[in-house]
Amino acid sequence: MEKRLADILEHWFLQEPALFQVLCTHELVPNPEMACPVRSGRRRIEYNPDFIKEMSDAALDEALRTEAVRILLKHPYERKPEGCSLEAIALGSNVVVGDNYEYLAFNIEKPADFDLPDGMPYEWYSRKIQSLLPEGDNDSGSGTSDRQSDKNKDLSELWEEDELTIAMINEVIEGCTDWGSLAGKFAEHLKASTKARINWRNVFSGFRASILSSERKLTRMKPNRRTGYENMGSIRRFNTKLLVAVDVSGSISSESLSYFFGVVNSAFRYGFESVDVIQFDQGVRVVQSLKKAMQEVIAIGRGGTSFQEPIDYAAEKGYEGLVILTDGYARMPKIPEHMSCKIIWVCQDEHCYEIHHHWMEKSGRVCTIELQ
């Protein structure tokens, strides 16, 4: 068994430098208890000796390639898509790998197996596949056998968010000069992923620090760090004028709108006492001042899109920060000369980010939602 693995790695060292380098960041560990032949996560690549004993050398090579590619895509180390089971995220990841890498001996799912389009991101596939699972059963099968369902669940069992490992994988990607069988469009996608994975949560922290004015308020509910409850502690409240502009044009799906308003609600978790929200398409449709998270939202509009409307509104009202939630499909706006408001463009997914971030960066910071 060890010799077969060593032979594969020796071949990769000569012919597949990218796969070899990323595999070297993980420890190869046998695990006879798992229901899948090979899986990755927590800086390990585990294999079931009983299963891979029955596999041809070609199939074993491709099974290991699958995990190396999956690691390069960083699926095992991202936040899990919200509301998705272990089976759904495993299948979502498989579909992306199968959509981007050619297989001859190892069976792996592709978008067509679920009647889904090619070229979509992992999070999107995971959510769509989750919707195909029996309702109310997040960890049940998807029409496959119980054994196949267990295999999928085991495949993603080790997956957990790990920013340090993501940074390490990005270093491998950025330093790679020979992509072997990954050369071409897929290699370009991997290199782009080291820059595009800038999500709302990370960017907003820095954005908040750059725009927010704040006030410190004394309280006995929070102890002083040195003297405990004997003296009053303090809390900090943010009083910056923040405007969140939600694109409700016809190109935005109901699913995307739900994530957009999730971003709005998350602002309160960052310490804001109030947030102003507008809905816009070709004009400003709804204006709300919120002091707590929204429970129910009705989108008004659903026409074309003009970014000039929220830009002009923010400038006119003297906001210090503007967050625009959109798919990006509209003409680039003209920023008023007197406008001092800082802008974050929040794209609904990586695909929209890749298309639009070049012009968006001329007026502000750009990120993707990734609220999975």
- Buried/exposed 170-192: b ≥16 CB within 10 Å, e otherwise: bebbeebeebebbeeebbebbee
pTM above 0.75, yes or no: no
The structural domains of the chain, ordered by start, are: 2-195 (no CATH), 200-368 (3.40.50)
CA separation for the pair 291, 262 (Å, rounded): 15
Give 14-69 pLDDT, tens digit per residue.
Answer: 999 999 999 999 999 999 999 999 999 999 999 999 999 999 999 999 999 999 99
For the chain, which ranges sit under pLDDT 50? 137, 139-144, 213-222, 229, 231-232, 234-238, 371-372
Q: What is the pLDDT of residue 141?
A: 41
Q: What is the pLDDT of residue 63?
A: 95
Backbone dihedral angles phi then psi of residue 155, each to the nearest 5 degrees: -60, -40
